[in-house]
Amino acid sequence: MKRTLITIAIAAMMAVAGAVPPQWAVDTLAGKPYMRHASLGVAVMDLSSGEIVAGHDIERSHITASTMKTVISLAALELLGSDFRFATPVYVTGTLSDGTLHGDVVVEGVGDPTTGTRFIKRDSDLVQQTVAALQRRGISRVEGRIVVDKSLYDGTEPYRDDWDAGDLAWDYGAGVHAFNWRDNLVELSLDVYTDGIAILYTTPSVPGLKLVDHTVPSRGGNTLDSTADYGTPSITVFGYVDPRHHGFTAANPLPEGLFAAELTRALEAAGIALENKATGGGSKELLLTHLSPALPEIIRSLLDRSDNMMAHSLLRAIAARDKAFETARGQGKAYDLDRIGVEAVKRCLQGLGVDTSPLFMRDGSGLARANKSSARFFVEMLRAAESRDYGDGLKLRHLMPEAGRRVGEPLTGSPLASRIALKSGSMSDVQCFVGYWPADEPRYAWATLVNNYTCPRKTLRGGLGRLLVDLFGDE
């Protein structure tokens, strides 16, 4: 009896905060039948000592999915600064006389992912600001055109070669341009009628965007799918479709076309005529500078919604301010913008004392399945982040969402759900979580990376929820 009591006391002392020893909780998850063929990495770190108090295969690199967004978020805070804002300049060219601009309106793309975004509330957007600025200058007629300068990212595709081609037409696969507009998204509709006629369109329409319908009318079910081609640019829909309205949010390969059309309509509504004549350019004069929200606001939004386009935009923003990019571009040499960004991120993390050898990073979002890292890397990175202050006590964890309903039962609905800050990541056969407990004054950082599990995702999320309750308690 005495020995039993001692054993129970030792187990209680070993527990992180839950009802069982932490390693037992991890081993229980690893022993589940659906983990038999899985690749599982788990690490739980005591932030004060840096000790791994529980783990499973902590050194092996696994596909990370969107947990990679914590990496780019930390690097952006470090390299761009918490006060950073994208600054998009708008110029007028040529000369002005009697209310007529004998030139163009030129918008210079700087990679801002938030221009016209629907996800971060703003008092005004770039279209409204441009119209108002022209009116203040007394301009009632523009002889030239609306020009969007995308030269900052010349030679760089809006997407990564290692992104799945099947993702590029969908909202989560939107590309990253030097000029982004309305989240690079558009509403795509296909109206199929019983006589076989089909009408494919976007709302609003995007001038210059080609829409291709390769669907086959059918009453036997719906297999509608789509692809995007940035070279044309075009969106193609295909598959068997039943007679009705089909609609979804699609990636827009031509955001500058949508912007130009929207600005043209706004100018017309304001009584400013746009003649679209070739004017020969001329000297540029700054009309206005459009500022994005501050970096922490962008990061909070992209982490909460797991926005791939915004996250990858931050990687390219880091690259565009790196000496390697400036040198290559200045000398007219070929460069890989994303590789430059990744190398800058790794140098940044190494400077924080984080071992980046387990980090295989291809983009800023985690959309590529080639993005991999280890559980140990994540807890080391989170520990490094906790040691940093980005002004007024701001830390990375303040920008991460709480667990809420992102993890399955029994965590969902328990008080613990609001006391854990985390980032989730998922794709086919991948489910990952990384975070802190407790969220307000963290004592532990943890990471669970699961690849190739053999059960419904709901079942796995339930197992991961059970792990967190066992580790940290449900009170």
All domains of the chain in start order, with CATH: 17-81+297-472 (3.40.710.10), 88-293 (no CATH)
Percentage of residues of the chain with pLDDT beyond 70: 96
Q: Residue 27 — very low, low, confident or very high, per pLDDT cuts 50/70/90?
A: very high
Phi, psi of 246 (to 5 degrees): -120, 135
Closest to 445 in 3D by CA, of 39, 10, 58, 111: 58
pLDDT of residue 475: 54
Q: Residue 467 — very low, low, confident or very high, per pLDDT cuts 50/70/90?
A: very high
Per residue in 242-273, pLDDT tens? 999 999 999 999 999 999 999 999 999 999 99
Strands 225-229 and 87-93: unpaired
Q: Residue 220 — very low, low, confident or very high, per pLDDT cuts 50/70/90?
A: confident
Strands (E), 113-252: 141-142, 146-149, 185-192, 198-203, 210-217, 225-229, 234-241, 245-251
Overall pTM surpassing 0.85 (yes/no):
yes
DSSP H or E segment with residue 285: strand 284-291
Q: At 317, list the tokens.
A: 């923003």
pLDDT at 11 over 80: no
**SS3 of residue 278 by DSSP:** coil
Strands 273-274 and 52-56: unpaired
